[in-house]
Amino acid sequence: MYRIRFHGRGGQGMKMASHILGTAFFLAGFEVQDAPRFGAERRGAPIFAYVRAQRDPIKERGIISHPGLILVADESLVPMPAAGILDGVEKSSVLFLNSREDAATWKKRLNFPGKILAMDLIGADLNVPGGQRFFGAICAGAAAALVGVIPEDILLQAIEAELTHVEAEVIRENKTRALAAFQAMMEYSGIVKEGGGRQAAKFKKPEWIEVPFDEAGVSAPAIHGSRTSELMKTGAWRLRRPVINTSRCKGCWWVCSTFCPDSAIVAKDGRPHIDYDHCKGCMICMVQCSAHAITLVNEYEAEEADKSE
């Protein structure tokens, strides 16, 4: 069975990627299961979607715990434990990272047991407004090439089947990008192999425990400490960074901090300061600032600039 997991951020089209790939497998005559994993997340938070495909009916269900292919749309998710990118990897797993760094660097960094492929397939779209809406088709195109059992024309047919609610121009652009990703990955065609089931003859025993008795003061679902949300660094969800231009800021009556839905702007010494550990990059502050003192910087570039400082 092919077991494929797409990892990205909310808004990057991972559900679309799983639907395009799922439909492509289906059109190629496979039995398929595809699903997104939603939670209470929002735009920018780590999410994943998955696809199972094989020639026989599929009985396995739920999240894919041992993926044959992990495809990561956004490399900044890799160090985030909540993204669970490396969950259940095995020697036979292939990890594709959409990255500006090469596979050898990642191999060293991650101590990954399987094969790693790294290439920047979406770089050109990252900085274009609305560019993220193509990530799904790009990732599906790459995955289709890596499994090696989906021909180009079926990939394009699947894109048409899935993008029924958009204009022809957008469909065309999705197809162009998916095809480019497909062709870029063709040299690795078939690198992802079908995996077997979990053997019952010899298996690793689950480490079951007796559920301990905890007093209700501990076991009731309450958050006791105040300001615990500060420990959750939601700044990692940010794709775009608001930057305050101090020379333009009039130190008004804190329109920016009043509107920030995450209380990530505080006034200190008569000036607004953005708490980048928690700013999620919604850019509401930018829109609200009447002095136009807040500008948008691409997060990746801002981080590169931070590093070189």
Q: Tokens 């026989």 appear where?
A: 56
Bin 22: left if φ > 0, else alpha if -120 < ψ < 50, else beta: alpha
Closest CA to 8 of 72, 101, 88: 72
Closest CB to another protein among 58 and 252? Answer: 58
Specify the residue, 208 or 253, whose C-beta has the smaller distance to another protein. Answer: 208
Contact flag: residue 265 with ligand SF4 (CB under 6 A) = yes
The minimum distance between CB 260 and ligand SF4, in angstroms, equals 3
266-295 residues in contact with ligand SF4 (CB under 6 A) are: 272, 274, 279-285, 289, 291, 293-294
The token pair at 144 is 């289709």
Closest contact distance (angstroms) between CB of 41 and another protein is 11
HSE-CB for 43 with a 13 A CA cutoff = 11
Count residues contacting ligand SF4 (CB under 6 A)? 26
CB atoms within 10 A of CB 78: 17
Residue 228 interacting with another protein (CB under 8 A): yes
**Of the residues 262, 295, 302, 303, which one makes contact with ligand SF4 according to CB under 6 A:** 262
Within 10 Å of residue 308's Cβ, how many Cβ atoms? 6
Closer to ligand SF4 by CB, 63 or 266: give it: 266
Backbone torsion region of residue 203, taken as left when φ is above 0, otherwise alpha when ψ lies between -120 and 50, otherwise beta: beta
**Residue listed under structure tokens 């162009």:** 176
Q: What is the C-alpha to C-alpha distance for residues 195 and 166, in angstroms, rounded to an integer? A: 36
210 touches another protein by CB under 8 A:
yes
What burial letters (b/e) apply to 261-279, b meaning 16+ CB within 10 Å? ebebbeeeeeebebebebb
Q: Mark residues 209-248: x for contact with ligand SF4 by CB under 6 A, - for none.
A: ---------------------------------x-x----
> Judged by CB under 6 A, does residue 8 bind ligand SF4?
no
Which one of residues 249, 295, 302, 303 is an interface residue with ligand SF4 (CB under 6 A)? 249
Nearest to 137 by CA among 113, 119, 163, 114: 163
Nearest approach in angstroms of CB 102 to another protein is 33
Closest CB to ligand SF4 among residues 62, 261: 261
Please report, in angstroms and rounded to a whole number, the separation of the first and last CA atoms in the chain: 48
Cβ neighbours of residue 179 under 8 Å, at least 6 residues apart?
141, 152, 155, 156
Q: Is residue 252 close enough to count as binding ligand SF4 by CB under 6 A?
A: yes
Residues in touch with another protein (CB under 8 A):
19, 22-23, 26, 31-40, 58-63, 65, 197-201, 203-212, 214-215, 217-219, 221-225, 228, 231-232
Q: List residues near ligand SF4 by CB under 6 A.
A: 242, 244, 249-252, 254-256, 260, 262, 264-265, 272, 274, 279-285, 289, 291, 293-294
